Amino acid sequence: MRFTLHIWRQENARAKGHFEKYDLDNISADCSFLEMLDILNERLINDRIAHPVCFDNDCREGICGMCGLYINGRPHGNDDGITTCQLHMRKFKDGDDIWIEPWRAKAFPVIRDLVVDRSAFDKIIQAGGYISTTTGGVPDANTILVPKHKADMAMDAASCIGCGACVAACKNASAMLFVGAKVSHLALLPQGKVEAADRVKKMVAKMDELGFGSCTNTYACEAECPKLIKRQNISRLNRHWIGSLLGRDRR
Amino acid sequence: MNLPKIHSISKKILVALLGAFLSIFLLFHACANLCILRHDGGAWYNAFCDFMGTNYVIKAFEIILFGALLLHIVLTIWLAITNKMARPKGYHKPQRSKTHTGSKLQVWTGILLLAGLIAHFMDFYFVKLGWVDGNLNFYEQAHEKFQIPHIAISYLIFFVVVWFHMRHGFAAIFQTFGLYNYKYGKAIEITGVIFATVVCLMFTAVVVGIYFGL
Ligand code: SF4
Ligand code: FES
């Protein structure tokens, strides 16, 4: 297959940045999107055309959340419930123009080319997205009873891989789906419930401080989340936040 | 630019609360309007308008209502600005995610609504205040206005805009208050559509009824 790539190139965080056009031929339809970029980089290096294009990636099997690229107007490209490493070139048509941009948000500044700094998410987690006690060894599974539907909801929320596609997709660059998922998966379980009120307050305050926008219920996040995290988690986040204001501390 | 700091969720909650209040008022307004359709020479409707114009509780309510409207507008503009600031550099390619158009339209339907509302006030409310000339008998005023084709059509378009704004707003209110869950999500959305439709149909009935002399 043959493609025309338009890739955002930016020397460093302060540089202006621009789109660079690359023609790429002889790409297998079974090639993954990141492999296609590897091939491009190989050619750029071997033919001494330019510095390789920098992009984040790690596991390449959809579990780490590193590979964030905004491809033709959609985070992770034109498919539902996948990360960029799970996107394959057969999803495109031969001769397609492909525009590749980094996540755009004030809280996710570009470091270089397509790599953005997502440590804002770590800061939100550090603000309270954990259980503040050492829990010791693994207890028997049935020592604390958890209703099945709660366990399921917690598990669904816990599948968030922190990729930032929700922020990238949101017209307001809001991180509410991410924070909703992180607040939910702990608050739904007995161990996490104890600190729930405190946690939600701190994480929301951090989220605001870092310059993420606020949700206006467009749900682009839900449409683009590779782990199909649902908007109900945002609703739960709101509910718990209101609860925490009303002094409904669960301790 | 540094705007005063309020938690993002507080702003949303206030917007939602005021939106809910305004929606309830609209329902009340639509119900009252149905009196116009009685062939009683405006006895009921004018009596109602009289009550609205003279009762002190209502007068206080009027101030609260305008306050709510103003605050709803100010807060949404504020939200829109802070949200714009959250993405200083936008994307080159326009977004192609599958999203709810209602939310993206909300700002625009809001702006249209405000323009429509001002036009509506020129026909009625400002007449009552004596700011513009017109018939103080609102039953007759409604008959005069809604028999003019372009005014009747403008009002119908206005109601369509109201419908869009309320349909999105209804479910959004539940989401913002954290009441949108797996169990009732669909039901909330359907109720929102029904609520917006019923309110707008009531308004439409009066305009259409007068236009066709029903
Ligand atoms: S909620 Fe979904 S889109 Fe957002 S960071 Fe988590 S996995 Fe990524
Ligand atoms: S590289 Fe790990 S999710 Fe894509």
Does A127 lie in the same domain as A101? no
**B8-211 topology per CATH:** 3 helical TM bundles of succinate and fumarate reductases (1.20.1300)
**A77-94 pLDDT per residue, tens:** 999 999 999 999 999 999
Q: Would the pLDDT of B40 be above 50?
A: yes
**A109-143 pLDDT per residue, tens:** 999 999 999 999 999 999 999 998 877 788 887 88
**B44-72 pLDDT per residue, tens:** 888 888 888 788 888 888 899 999 999 99
Does A157 lie in the same domain as A99? no
Residues of B in contact with A233 (CB under 8 A): none
State whether A213 and B12 contact (CB < 8 Å).
no
Chain A interface test: which of B5, B9, B89, B177 (most A C-beta within 10 Å): B9
Residue A165 CB less than 6 A away from ligand 2: no
Does A96 lie in the same domain as A129? no
Domain count, chain A: 2
Does A39 lie in the same domain as A153? no
Does A95 lie in the same domain as A210? no
Q: Which residues of chain A have pLDDT under 70?
A: 248-251
User: pLDDT tier at B5 (50, 70, 90 boundaries)?
Assistant: low
Q: What is the best residue among A33, A60, A227 to mutate for testing ligand 2's pocket, by most ligand atoms within 8 Å of CB? A: A60
Does A134 lie in the same domain as A105? no
Query: In Å, how far is A224's CA from the nearest CA of chain B?
Result: 7
The residue from A112, A138, A155 where one domain ends is: A112
Does A132 lie in the same domain as A97? no
Does A106 lie in the same domain as A128? no
Q: Give the contacts of A39 (CB within 8 A, at least 6 positions apart).
A: A24, A27, A31
The model carries a pTM of 0.92
Q: Would the pLDDT of B101 be above 80?
A: no
CB A38 within 8 A of CB A132: no
Provide the residue range defining the domain that includes A205.
Answer: 119-250
Q: Give the contacts of A104 (CB within 8 A, at least 6 positions apart).
A: A70, A168, A173, B87, B89, B90, B91
Does A142 lie in the same domain as A83? no
Query: In Å, how far is B156's CA from the nearest CA of chain A?
Result: 27
